[in-house]
Amino acid sequence: MRLTAYLIPTLREDPAEAEVISHRLMLRAGMIRRVAAGIYSYLPLGYRALRKVEGIIRREMDRAGALEVFLPVLSPAELWRETRRWDAYGKELMRMQDRHGRDFCLGPTHEEIVTDLVRREVKSWRQLPLNLYQIQTKFRDEIRPRFGLMRGREFGMKDAYSFDRDEEGVQKSYATMFETYTRIFEQCGLNFKAVEADSGPIGGSFSHEFMVLAETGEDLLLNCPGCGYAANLEKAEIALPEEQAGAEEHRPVERKETPGQRTVEEVSAFLECGPSQLVKTLLYEADDTVVAVLLRGDHQLNETKLKNYLGAGALGPASPEKIEKVTGGPTGFSGPVGLDGVRIVADEQVRHLVNFVTGANAADTHLVNVNFGRDFAASEWADVKAADAGDPCPRCRAAMEKVRGIEVGHVFKLGTKYSDAMGARYLDENSEEKSIVMGCYGIGTGRTVAAAIEQNHDGDGIIWPVPIAPFEVVLLTLNVREQVLMEASEKLVGELEDRGVDVLWDDRDERPGVKFKDADLIGCPVRVVIGGKSYKRGEGEIRIRRTGEQSAAPLGQLAARVEDLLGQIQ
């Protein structure tokens, strides 16, 4: 492809609108342009990268036996009312009415549409299992669209839905999709990790997110360098603490005045103990019942873990009035001693503490040397601490590390949530009617392109992994006014294309400096230069974008050498 016949409006300056590197580089490399908040046009170069990602996804999904379909974007409200998501989805759902005043939405995901299709077409166990997928545009009115393609309001997604006869079947489908996703992201040349994820209100323990590791990621992950356990922070478990040998004797409880000392830091400084010797008592309201949560002073609560543990629909901190009513003391001085009739959930990490400090359920007062059993009983123990760097891995006890990631894919075992709500049933071998068991699987296509750049760039621009590079090779002709150089270049383009290599030919009448800069910005894995001293020697110059490694090859061998190189580099 000749650059003079192409549209790559590169920018010298960093656009003010861009907050993250991928967004900045995609704008500067002329790949995308913003139309409105969270809405982008792909220019030819950007669209080529997207198409490469889509191609890898399509190949692997087909190989896994999934069937490609194309479902409508416009989705009638009746289907969403059947699953109660018309109300539950809230403001993120883009709603509209047709000329007859009938409600529709622009699909943010397609469980309703696909389940409706399957309930009409699938009647017998002989038709199962089935996995239907599509690559299509989704609409979500995100509260904070940002970072270019990362969080758009209109964005590309590959979504797949599996339909199985039973639990065993869905586990198999899930495992197949898990492996397929692993292959897809490997083939995109990405450094990623599959992490255990919170399955949210849908429940069940089967949910993994595929995270591209990058400092700018919006998600926090806990990763165990020992055994490879990895989980989203929302979900990450922590190993149970080990009992300390030779623990202190229980000392008598003392009541201490702590005037004006409210925070953990203030109280522990005032009482001259470490924050880890303090047990804070947080009062929460879970579906209208008050629960007291005990947590070590220097630890933070993970509300998602608590919510899942309690199986609560709604969870939030209790109001000051409620706290006063339940504990008899003001906010900030709650404690478990004498808290009769209240469910006390103690975090596992405080199980072996002795002689600790708690609030006394009275203003400006704390209790010192409090102990479990003697002074109060926890109703139950649960892992509700927000995992942090250094916490012991739940599998192998090695210290976990905290890293950032970008969620590019999500696999999910749905069970019968949608099939029950919409009546998607089949007849088994004994002519008994059963609910179809479902799974769903998403990959953000645009977000994957952006994540690839987030992970692969340097100060000069993008460094494309070969499999998703919009062009694998950029060919620079140094002086386009020299006919011989143009002829040699054209010949090379033909030879590369014959070998199936995507090549962008910079045939612009520009200074070499401009061409080199644009080539680095656009980030094709291999750059070839024709012109200058090497040409006089009958050679062309080859440079690998990622390593900067340079070599030369006789003109007649250039195409073969470049093809070889592309097979070797990442």
DSSP conformation letters of 465-516: -GGG-S-SEEEEES-TT-HHHHHHHHHHHHHHHHTT--EEEE--S--HHHHH
For ligand ATP, which residue of 165, 307, 447, 457 counts as binding (CB under 6 A)? Answer: 447
Minimum separation from the CB atom of position 407 to ligand ATP (A) = 5
For ligand ATP, which residue of 129, 148, 152, 405 counts as binding (CB under 6 A)? Answer: 152
For ligand ATP, which residue of 82, 103, 141, 142 counts as binding (CB under 6 A)? Answer: 142
Peptide bond into 129 cis (omega under 30): yes
Binding of residue 329 to ligand ATP (CB under 6 A): no
User: Would strands 289-296 and 94-97 be described as parallel, antiparallel, or unpaired?
Assistant: unpaired
Minimum separation from the CB atom of position 231 to ligand ATP (A) = 15
For ligand ATP, which residue of 409, 439, 525, 540 counts as binding (CB under 6 A)? Answer: 409
Residue with the two structure tokens 């166990």: 125
Binding of residue 20 to ligand ATP (CB under 6 A): no
Residue with the two structure tokens 């199986």: 311
Segment lying near ligand ATP (by CB under 6 A), choices 22-30, 151-159, 276-284, 458-466: 151-159
Binding of residue 169 to ligand ATP (CB under 6 A): no
Segment lying near ligand ATP (by CB under 6 A), choices 79-87, 361-369, 408-416, 549-557: 408-416
Binding of residue 405 to ligand ATP (CB under 6 A): no
Cα separation values, 196 from 144, 264, 311, 374, Å:
25, 32, 19, 38
Binding of residue 151 to ligand ATP (CB under 6 A): yes
Pick between residue 149 and residue 286 the one whose CB is nearest to ligand ATP.
149
Q: Which of 144, 79, 136 is nearest to 105 (CA)?
A: 79
Long-range contact list for 517-521, CB < 8 A, 24+ apart?
517/460, 518/8, 518/10, 519/474, 519/476, 520/460, 520/461, 520/545, 521/10, 521/25, 521/28, 521/29, 521/460, 521/461, 521/462
Q: Is the CB of residue 226 less than 8 Å from the CB of residue 238?
A: no
Binding of residue 141 to ligand ATP (CB under 6 A): no
Q: Which of 441, 464, 440 is nearest to 451 (CA)?
A: 464
Pick between residue 48 and residue 410 the one whose CB is nearest to ligand ATP.
410
Number of residues that bind ligand ATP (CB under 6 A): 15
Q: Is the CB of residue 298 less than 8 Å from the CB of residue 292?
A: no
Residue with the two structure tokens 């469980």: 111
Q: Is the CB of residue 445 less than 8 Å from the CB of residue 154?
A: no
Binding of residue 193 to ligand ATP (CB under 6 A): no
Segment lying near ligand ATP (by CB under 6 A), choices 43-51, 150-158, 237-245, 468-476: 150-158
Minimum separation from the CB atom of position 23 to ligand ATP (A) = 12
556 contact partners, CB below 8 Å, separation of at least 6: none
Binding of residue 407 to ligand ATP (CB under 6 A): yes
For ligand ATP, which residue of 169, 217, 329, 444 counts as binding (CB under 6 A)? Answer: 444
Segment lying near ligand ATP (by CB under 6 A), choices 127-135, 287-295, 443-451, 522-530: 443-451
Pick between residue 185 and residue 229 the one whose CB is nearest to ligand ATP.
185
- The binding site for ligand ATP (CB under 6 A) comprises 109, 140, 142, 151-152, 155, 157, 407-410, 442, 444, 446-447
